[in-house]
Copies of this chain bind each other. A is one copy, B any other.
């Protein structure tokens, strides 16, 4: 896994938003938080409390007086904005920007994502220090993302993109079916055939599979339904148990 990009918050106003950004970073294995001139000072109790125990991010956050200092060691910086600016600069989606960042980091190039003030975003001066503009696809009628939500999108795309990212989870996605049903080992077909015989015998006795000319199609439909279930052998035994139980019930009475 390449090193994660830095997250730069420019003059954030609320400690809560810094804390929630830290939590979002921790959720997606981002580590390097840099804060430019937080309005309400630093350290911030509110940031700690909103971070939901992402204190390692908060404790290691670096505070800077200016944007220039905050990005001094970085080599490629993306500006998250809500709208296209009147600037000649590449405009990217979070997905493609993060993809590029992963490639750059893999090649040893240090990258970062810059986020603006809650109320007013990044200034044109801030953006002029960045290499590209990143705009999330949003509802144009309701385009303003919360600060921590923007950070989250970058983290989410980063963990999706970077190689070892989903390692812990990926094994769960290995089974059969769409992306896998954990623990599912479908029953041998002979077990299913046994269940079908059992069910159809009982349904013949109870008069469900009538009239005779419709029986073949009805049986096919039934089998198709139960085949889709993808039952394990234990589950096939359960199904047979259900049929036995329902038919036995009135025998006892």
Contacts and interface: CB of A to CB of B under 8 A. Distances in A.
Contacts of A26: 139, 142
A220 interface: no
A232 B168 contact: no
B140 A168 contact: yes
A206 B177 CA distance: 32
Given A145-B27, A146-B52, A246 B206 contact: yes
Interface in A204-252: 205-208, 221-222, 225-226, 228-232, 235, 238-239, 241-243, 245-251
A40 to B, nearest CB: 19
B89 A181 contact: yes
B152 A137 contact: no
A93 interface: yes
A145 B52 CA distance: 10
A238 to B, nearest CB: 7
A131 B139 CA distance: 28
Given A28-B139, A145-B27, A225-B231, A91 B245 contact: no
Interface string A24-65: 101111000000000000000000000010100000000000
Contacts of A177: 90
A13 interface: no
Interface of A: 20, 23-24, 26-29, 52, 54, 84, 86, 88-93, 95-96, 100, 132, 135-140, 142-146, 148-149, 152-153, 156, 159-160, 163, 165-166, 168-169, 172-173, 177-184, 199, 202-203, 205-208, 221-222, 225-226, 228-232, 235, 238-239, 241-243, 245-251, 253
